[in-house]
Amino acid sequence: MSIALSSAPSRKQLRRLPAAAGFIALLALAQILGQRGFPESWNINLANPVNDLQGWVRDNRGQHWLFTFVFEPFTWIVDFGLERTSGFIGWLPWFIPPTIVFLVIARSGKYWTAGFAAFAVIYPGIVGVWEQSIDTVSLMAVSVALSIAIGIPIGIWTALNKRAESALRPMLDAMQTVPATVYLIPVVLIFGIGQVPAAIATIIYALPPIIRLTALGIQQVPASAVEAAKMFGATKRQTLMKVQLPLAVPSIIAGINQTVMMALGIVVIATLVGAAGLGQEIMQTVRMLSPGRGLVVGMAVVAVAFVLDRVSLAVVVAPGEQRRALPRRKLALILSALFVGAIFGRAIGIHEFPFSWGTSFADPVDTAVNWFRDTFDVVTRPFNDFLVRDVLIRARRLLNETLSWQLIVIAATTLAFHVSGWKMAITTSLGLVFIGVTGMWPDASKTLSQTVVAVLFSILIALPIGIWLGRRPRAEAALSPVLDSLQTIPPLIYAIPFVMIFTVGPVPGIVAAVVYAIPPGIRLTSLGIRQVNKESIEAATTFGATQRQVLWGVRIPLAMPSIILAINQMVMMVLAMAIIAGMVGGEGLGYRSVEALTRSNSGLGAEVGIAIVLMATILDRLLQALAKRMQAPAAL
């Protein structure tokens, strides 16, 4: 009798039956009466007014006040910084920059890091891309410097002004969600093609972390420290300069670090709008299908980022860190020696890099990739055909020919409502419809199919590794340098060997996106497993649970919020790889964005950009909301 009662449905479940039946009937009605594929007659042709605006910009760039007094002065500042930085670094003899880097970092007592950073400076010269590295260093140095100059004051303002923070928070959320390629579209529309627009796009892309982390650092300053300063009669400005900013230095340093990494992330894509430097070299490796050369040049980009990151960390003194100030005589002697060395090097003609091994030592990488392609063709070819024919094409037909668009919108809206409520449901429905009315529904369905496939593969690889590492700190420490390298190498580098293995098409982009998305998935999963409450584990062990039962019954359930965030990050990383997939023959929004940038079609770029933004925002908000819902059981 008790068994029968326990298996009977509850009153709450019975109340839900009519709603469930009505929802199923609504889906069936939408499928029967709905239209397959989004109707082309609903296209609002957003490209036309944007292209008209592009024409107006071209006609009025030299006379309208908006360009004369706003855009042109900023463009002049950026161009001036790029020319002077590039000219100065190019004028210096080759041995001066590594010496300066070594001295700056060695001042903090980190001699091994200083030596490695000095080697990183000369690495581009060793592999024959010294001149290109100067262009990239100039682009990144000016972009990061301007991002810091703009971002830190805005971060301070938002930390001290709640209204400003509330107004800017949605904008910063959107800026961190949007893939890098979307920034290039309005920049090209306003500033055209060239090195300066590439720098401006990099500045915009790299701004959010420095703003957020500066504000976070100031907000986390202990209230007691601020109150003590006020009690001693300090003004708001004195409190900010003497108390809040010094205590917020660690967070600001983290923001600078993230800004450098963000600038690195767009350096290759910026070549689509005319940026010179190492990005162009990497693009050439794609045309040459040389993964070895791509790896060599990609490591030069990593070297540039490493040097800028370590120099920025060495320049800023964190609170509590003791550094001996250099005596004036010693500082003057060092500067004089550097000046004399620079003049002497120019005078005797040793300013250019003295030798170059080129990329010949990358030939073994090309040979290895060719061997892998030829040896495992019996596996890679069927895998490529399976993904294209049986997964991507069928998914495309499902979304465009089998299911009605009304059914897709209703199902997605219902899911959003169940996960996050009415606001997210309205956002989802309006976002999907707007993607349709811009004419991007077919391309968005292709990108969604590729994203789902790449994320599924990423989950199957990253989560088991992350769970395994979360219980083995030594293994995680050993694997950490590998994960750091995978997150630092430009994304396009991953696609080159897979193009050779799988041929041009969507599969190389999918596989490259998986490799690119795995590191954050592993890290966040491992973090969640490692931070599970020890008392919960001990309690389960006390009651006789085995290690496997502890894992599945305690660790994974309590780490689920972190695991959901890991999936969220992998989704964002895969979407960020959309344009890379378009560069190597992939379909969907990535290919259309490349088409818009290369053909200077701002109207198409705007439509693609809006579709990517809406897709990224919907997926990001849904997964964040799901992570918050998962948080409740962990808190109990």
Whether 46 and 418 have beta carbons less than 8 Å apart is answered as no
Per-residue exposure over 66-105, b if at least 16 CB sit within 10 Å of its own CB, e if not: ebeeebeeebeebbebbeebbeebeebbbbbbbbbbbebb
What φ, ψ does residue 404 adopt, rounded to 5°?
-75, 150
Average pLDDT over every residue of 88-105 = 88
- The superfamily CATH assigns to domain 64-318 is MetI-like (1.10.3720.10)
Residues ≥6 apart with Cβ < 8 Å to 425: 413, 414, 416, 417
Work out the mean pLDDT of the chain and round it to a whole number.
Answer: 82
Whether 602 and 593 have beta carbons less than 8 Å apart is answered as no
d(CA 291, CA 205): 27
Question: What does 96-109 look like in DSSP terms, one character per residue?
Answer: HHHHHHHHHHHTTT
Give domain limits for the chain: 40-50+376-635, 64-318
Predicted confidence band at 320 (pLDDT cuts at 50, 70, 90)?
A: low
Residue type, 181: T
- 435 pLDDT exceeds 90? yes
C-alpha atoms less than 13 angstroms from C-alpha of 565 in its C-beta half-sphere = 17
- The DSSP 8-state label assigned to residue 9 in this structure reads P
Q: Which pLDDT does position 323 carry in this prediction?
A: 58
pLDDT tens digits, 239-280:
888 888 888 887 888 788 778 877 777 776 777 777 777 878
What φ, ψ does residue 471 adopt, rounded to 5°?
-105, 5
Task: Domain 40-50+376-635: give its CATH code.
Answer: 1.10.3720.10
Same topology, domains 40-50+376-635 and 64-318? Answer is: yes
d(CA 578, CA 590): 5
Q: Which pLDDT does position 3 carry in this prediction?
A: 44
Whether 428 and 413 have beta carbons less than 8 Å apart is answered as yes
The H or E element spanning position 453 is: helix 441-470
- 15 pLDDT exceeds 50? yes
Query: For 198-212, 241-255, 302-316, which range has the lowest pLDDT when averaged over its residues?
Result: 302-316
Burial bucket for residue 383 (CB in 10 Å: 0-12, 13-18, 19+): middle
Between 132 and 360, name the one with better pLDDT.
Answer: 132
Residues in the chain: 636
Between 290 and 316, name the one with better pLDDT.
Answer: 290
d(CA 528, CA 626): 16
d(CA 613, CA 175): 9
- The DSSP 8-state label assigned to residue 361 in this structure reads G
**Angle in degrees, 0-180, between the axes of helices 560-576 and 506-530, rounded to the nearest 10:** 160
d(CA 415, CA 97): 56
Burial bucket for residue 506 (CB in 10 Å: 0-12, 13-18, 19+): buried
Per-residue exposure over 474-486, b if at least 16 CB sit within 10 Å of its own CB, e if not: eebeebeeebeeb
Residues ≥6 apart with Cβ < 8 Å to 317: 249, 323
**Angle in degrees, 0-180, between the axes of helices 11-33 and 405-420, rounded to the nearest 10:** 150
Three-state DSSP class for residue 145: helix
Q: Is the dihedral of CA 422, 427, 428, 433 positive or negative?
A: positive
d(CA 562, CA 570): 12
- Number of continuous H segments (helices) and E segments (strands) in the chain: 34, 0
pLDDT tens digits, 324-339:
666 777 778 888 888 8
Residues ≥6 apart with Cβ < 8 Å to 121: 97, 98, 101, 303, 307
Q: Which pLDDT does position 632 carry in this prediction?
A: 43
Query: For 206-210, 349-353, 602-606, 622-626, which range has the lowest pLDDT when averaged over its residues?
Result: 349-353
Predicted confidence band at 455 (pLDDT cuts at 50, 70, 90)?
A: very high
| Alpha helical stretches, state H, 111-268 | 111-126, 130-160, 162-177, 180-191, 195-219, 223-231, 236-239, 245-247, 249-266
Residue type, 439: G
